[in-house]
Amino acid sequence: MSRRVFVGIFENEEDILGMAQASRERGLKIIDIFAPYAVHGLDRAAGFKPSRLPIVCFFLGLLGAGLKVWFEFWTTAVSWPINVGGKPWNSWPAFIPITFEVMVLFAGIGTVIAFLIASRLYPGKQAKLAYPGVTDDRFAIFLEEQDATFDVEEVTRLCRHFNATHVEERSEESD
């Protein structure tokens, strides 16, 4: 099934912020916005849900730390206890540094992998550019023309109000 998409191109950070907010307030469905850099507050203006990656990070860190504490205890106190300078088998204060490092390692690598999966990025992926220059200095907003209530003229006027340099309609295969 194909859908009609309305595309607006902007040159300025403030313009795309304003357009995103205005679109959301008018109940227009924002498919996506493309930007050459991270615009602060754009996700909030467009009404995107906050990322759940911090949760992933937290639990992976917990998992890494937990596994490491167990492993250090098991190796030094259970599997092959060795007397090192008369220290107890389970010398837990000495386990803290590596536990911390492994926690950071799990949380860090795990979060980046989760990010790549969530954003569907992988090495060698061919990028489909929304509009030439969106990785340089152009901002593009993609609005879905849901039904008859989508007034192309009004949205065009809205885009012009926010100094859009270009507007167009596309029909694209929805996935």
Partner 1 sequence: MAEVQAGLRQPLILGNKKPVDVSNDICEIIERKPTGLWWAAFLASLTMLIVGTVAVIYQMRVGIGTWGLNRTVGWAFDITNFVFWIGIGHAGTLISAILFLFRQKWRTSVNRAAEAMTLFAVMCAGIFPLIHMGRPWLFYWILPYPNFRGPLWVNFRSPLAWDFFAISTYFTISFLFWYLGLMPDLATIRDRATGLRKKIMGFFSFGWDGSSRTWSRFEVVYLLLAGLATPLVLSVHTIVSMDFATAIIPGWHTTIFPPYFVAGAIFSGFAMVLTLMLIARKVMHLEDYFTVRHVDAMCKIIIVTGSIVGLAYLTEFFTAAYSGNGYEQFVFFNRAAGPFAWAYWTMVTCNVISPQLLWFKKIRTNLVLVFLLSIVVNIGMWFERFVIIVTSLHRDFLPSSWADYTPSIIEILTLIGSFGLFLTLFLLFCRFLPVIAVSEVKGILSTGKPRAERPAFAEHPEADEEEVEPELAGV
Q: Which of residues 71-100 bind partner 1 (CB under 8 A)?
A: 71-72, 75-76, 79-80, 82, 84-85, 87, 91, 94-95, 97-98, 100
Q: How far is the CB of 82 from partner 1 (least distance, A)?
A: 7
Q: How far is the CB of 2 from partner 1 (least distance, A)?
A: 20
Q: How far is the CB of 5 from partner 1 (least distance, A)?
A: 14
| Closest listed residue to residue 31, CA positions, set 9, 55, 53, 48 | 48
DSSP SS3 for 31: strand
Q: How far is the CB of 4 from partner 1 (least distance, A)?
A: 20
Residues 19 and 10 sit within 8 Å (Cβ to Cβ): yes
DSSP SS3 for 166: strand
Contacting range for partner 1; rule: CB under 8 A; set: 1-9, 115-123, 166-174? 115-123
Residues 85-91: contacts with CB within 8 Å, 24+ apart?
none
The 39-68 contact track toward partner 1, x by CB under 8 A, reads: xx-xx--x-x-xx-xx--x---x-------
35 binds partner 1, rule: CB under 8 A: yes
The region, left, alpha or beta by phi > 0 then psi within -120 to 50, assigned to residue 91 is beta
